[in-house]
Amino acid sequence: MEDQKFIYDNKTVKLFILATIVWGIVAILVGLIIAIQLAFPAVNFGLEFTTFGRVRPVHTNAVIFAFIGNAIFAGVYYSMQRLLKTRMFSDVLSAIHFWVWQLIIVLAAVTLLAGFTSGKEYAELEWPIDILIAITWVAFGANMIGTMIIRRVQHIYAAIWWYVATFVGVAILHIVNSFELPFSLLKSYPVFAGAQDAVVQWWYGHNAVAFFLTTPFLGLMYYYLPKAAERPIYSYKLSIIHFWSLIFLYMWAGPHHLLYQALPDWAQALGVTFSVMLIAPSWGGMINGLLTLRGAWDKVRDKAELKFLVVAVTAYGMSTFEGPMMSIKFVNQLTHFTDWTIAHVHIAGMAWNGGIVFGMLYWLVPKLFRTKLFSEKLANVHFWIATLGILIYAIPLYWSAVTQWLMLREYTKEGFLAYPNFLETFTQILPMYYFRIVGGSMFLIGFLLFVYNMFKTMAAGALIPQEESYAPALVELGARNPKAETIHRFLERKSVRFTIVSFIVLAIGGAVEIIPMTFVKSNIPTIETVTPYTPLELAGRDIYIAEGCYNCHSQMVRPFRWETDRYGEYSKIGEFVYDHPFQWGSRRTGPDLARAGVVGGAYYKNAAWHFNHFMDPQKMNEQSIMPKYPWLAAKDINTKIIPAKIRAMQKLGVPYPEGYDKVAVEDLKKQAQTIADDLKASGISADPNKQMIAMIAYLHKLGRDISAPVTADSAKAEVPKAEVKSLPTSTADIAAGKEIFARICAVCHGAEGKGLATFPDLTDDKWIHGNTPGDVVNTITNGYPVKGMLPYKSQLSEQQIQQVASFVLNGLKK
């Protein structure tokens, strides 16, 4: 048969490679900056735009969608044309795909830093950008399917199965997780609330890992690994089995991000079991990759690209074993909310995704530019420095996770939390964050060597933007002969049918979880006392989201004694029914805030404390790494948008009375005034129009609805007075009291007892609640919750309380 002439589009491939390199530098650099901020909070330069809560989503989005995304597209556009022996279906679609994707990245960076975020991890971008993403993704998919249709090859190779699953999977995920109701040009509320939103979000979040960081990379592995090693794929059968089982099972496993949380047991069980079942399908990919290298291991020794690919595939095997283990409920109580997850994702991201990208580009760029790699030696240096950097990054974080978990759950022999102050556990692990900076820096240095090597190689060679090639036309085989052709082999030559079957296989898992969560009422048991947010609280909540507070603070108390003793009652599904979006968080760099509004609870702080804390957290907790938020006291609450917010919430089913949007601002101002008055009574003059007031209102709402209301009267009535006539006064006791005072009391009363902000001076002659030993012991034991003094009877033993009281009365300098 006569060969047809066609032209490969190498220009688009080159553009995607350049974008990969440029965004790679940005993404890793931003990551390094936030790693430094965690150890040294002053590195946010005191600007709202460069503060951790806003920059961290820039890092994650830049790594995933900019660096890794462009690398995927580069790899797909090159390999797909060669595997199908045709040019990409449409140059226009290719151009739209490339340029709009870069536009999205720029818009993402700008809006995230400006504080526009949906508050859902890895899906932070707001609705106009969501629409752009959808358009671009459809362009990519149409281009891919079109290319398959015009191909000159009978069967579709395994790499392309994975590309197809990537397109279909991400399309489903992105569309469903972006169901949101806009109420302004750049802001929207997600349609789902609370536990439903959590299920949808982590179905998305988990499968973004699957269909953006796993399936496309397996596709790339199936092309670039055998190409670079010049070996055939080990097992065709294994390709089939692990492809279908992986894409089917992955979609079910999302709830493993929500174990022990406010989610029905059945959904959690699906998360556990489907994650465990994923081990073998994931390892199928690793095995097929490693066994393909049989007979080529001598090449691995010499070639950096193969070394990267081997480390990538091995890291993939490790991570896909670790992931299912982390999904076992018992293990999850350690790995969730700690640095374990951070280490896990960085091994996967740096070694698996990074390894495939580096391996691919060290092979592809010289080929594309018809030259040799500028320096094989430099590539090997990159390999070793990156690998070492990954280890120095991850191992300390695993250590940190175990340390913090052990500290958080440790009890004294008397049954009290050994480290009642969350900050103690954080201070303990802080040194590990210095190692992370070292590891991250090494990875960045390696990356810069790679960039230099790439540009030198490109400069030495010459790209043929439009490369001629020849292949015979495709002759359709027609109907299946059941004897000679398996069903799968048949499907491989029916690209559209293949895509449709993938869609069905992919859609099942999500549907089985999301539909019952949304429509079956029994899954969301309601709690009568839970009320919608007042307009001021809602405004505060939106500021909380915009500042990215959820990046460090969870709002989810899990049902463990060491959490309920620390924070209060564990979280219930019905508490979150008005939360659009949910804010459960995923890493506790700071303490949980789910019970921040429970008056008398361990984490309740009064308005004055919050005011001072936002202005300067280190004044309240010397070792805190929370950034300062002075702009909250300077920026006005946007009241113009409040009616639109109320109307949007009403449309989503939040039961505000009809016409409430018209009086909402009035209500907001009234509530703001009471908080401002409260602050004034404490000697702080605050403008009721400022964001600070809304934040305080929101924090005081958290968990309040399910706690018994505490008033000055009820607090007094319940409490039996301690009868203590004398206090221990030995030097040992006073020293013990001093130690406890420094650890717990100094936060509000100052290290020398002079009192911070509005909290009373303990060294003067004026006493609000009396200064007899009995009075002081009573104040410490039962607290004055309405005023912000916590009860310590659940954190300190009687003896310890007496020691503190003794220190206050006898040890403080008058």
Which residue type does 379 have? Answer: A
CB of 338 to another protein, least distance (A): 20
Name the residue nearer to another protein (CB basis): 189 or 217. 217
CB of 38 to another protein, least distance (A): 32
CB of 757 to another protein, least distance (A): 34
Name the residue nearer to another protein (CB basis): 134 or 706. 706
CB of 703 to another protein, least distance (A): 17
CB of 470 to another protein, least distance (A): 13
CB of 356 to another protein, least distance (A): 16
CB of 160 to another protein, least distance (A): 9
> In the beta sheet, which residues pair with residue 189?
181
Kindly report the three-state secondary structure assignment for every residue of 721-757. Answer: CCCCCCCCCCHHHHHHHHHHHHHHHHHHHCCCCCCCC
Find the helix or strand (DSSP H, E) in which 451 lies: helix 422-460
Q: How many CB atoms lie within 10 A of CB 513?
A: 24
CB of 582 to another protein, least distance (A): 18
Residues lying near another protein in the complex (CB under 8 A): 79, 82-83, 85, 153-155, 157-159, 223, 226-227, 232-239, 241-242, 245, 260, 265-266, 268-269, 272-274, 276-277, 279-281, 283-284, 287, 291, 294-295, 297, 411-415, 559-561, 564, 570, 728-730, 732-733, 799
Q: Are 637 and 693 in contact (CB under 8 A)?
A: yes
**Greatest pairwise CA separation for the chain in angstroms:** 107
Name the residue nearer to another protein (CB basis): 195 or 648. 195
Q: Report the C-alpha gap between 614 and 626 in whole angstroms.
A: 9
Cis peptide before 581 (omega within 30 of 0): yes
Name the residue nearer to another protein (CB basis): 539 or 556. 556
CB of 81 to another protein, least distance (A): 9
Name the residue nearer to another protein (CB basis): 273 or 714. 273
Name the residue nearer to another protein (CB basis): 53 or 791. 791
Name the residue nearer to another protein (CB basis): 55 or 407. 407
Alpha carbon distances (Å) from 144 to 86, 139, 163, 581, 625? 11, 8, 8, 34, 47
> In the beta sheet, which residues pair with residue 188?
182
CB of 538 to another protein, least distance (A): 30
Name the residue nearer to another protein (CB basis): 150 or 710. 150
> In the beta sheet, which residues pair with residue 8?
467
CB of 512 to another protein, least distance (A): 13
Name the residue nearer to another protein (CB basis): 412 or 711. 412
Which residue, among 67, 8, 2, 38, has the nearest Cα to 447 in the 3D structure?
A: 67
Q: Which residues of 187-221 are buried (b: 16+ CB within 10 A; e: fewer)?
A: bbbbbbbbbbbbbbbbbbbbbbbbbbbbbbbbbbb
Q: Report the C-alpha gap between 614 and 602 in whole angstroms.
A: 19
Name the residue nearer to another protein (CB basis): 412 or 529. 412
Q: Report the C-alpha gap between 50 and 113 in whole angstroms.
A: 7
Place of tokens 């047991």: 265
Name the residue nearer to another protein (CB basis): 249 or 679. 249
Residues 6+ apart with CB under 8 A from 625: 38, 39, 41, 426, 430, 589
Name the residue nearer to another protein (CB basis): 157 or 340. 157
Q: Is 6 helix (H, G, I), strand (E, B) or coil?
A: strand
Name the residue nearer to another protein (CB basis): 416 or 434. 416
CB of 411 to another protein, least distance (A): 7
Parallel, antiparallel, or unpaired for β 466-472 and 188-190? unpaired
Question: DSSP characters for 155-219?
Answer: S--HHHHHHHHHHHHHHHHHHHHT-EEE-SSS-EEESS-HHHHHHHHHHHHHHHHHHHHTHHHHH
Alpha carbon distances (Å) from 164 to 7, 142, 160, 171, 218? 23, 11, 6, 11, 12
Place of tokens 């140059």: 91
Parallel, antiparallel, or unpaired for β 466-472 and 180-182? unpaired
CB of 809 to another protein, least distance (A): 14
Q: Are 112 and 124 in contact (CB under 8 A)?
A: yes
Long-range contacts formed by 133-138: CB under 8 A, 24+ apart: 133/104, 133/174, 134/171, 134/174, 134/175, 134/178, 135/96, 135/100, 136/96, 136/97, 136/100, 136/101, 136/104, 137/167, 137/170, 137/171, 137/174, 138/171
CB of 43 to another protein, least distance (A): 40
Name the residue nearer to another protein (CB basis): 526 or 730. 730
Which residue type does 621 have? Answer: N
Name the residue nearer to another protein (CB basis): 172 or 780. 780
Angle between helical axes of 642-651 and 535-546 (0-180°, round to 10): 90
Q: Report the C-alpha gap between 688 and 636 in whole angstroms.
A: 9
CB of 248 to another protein, least distance (A): 12
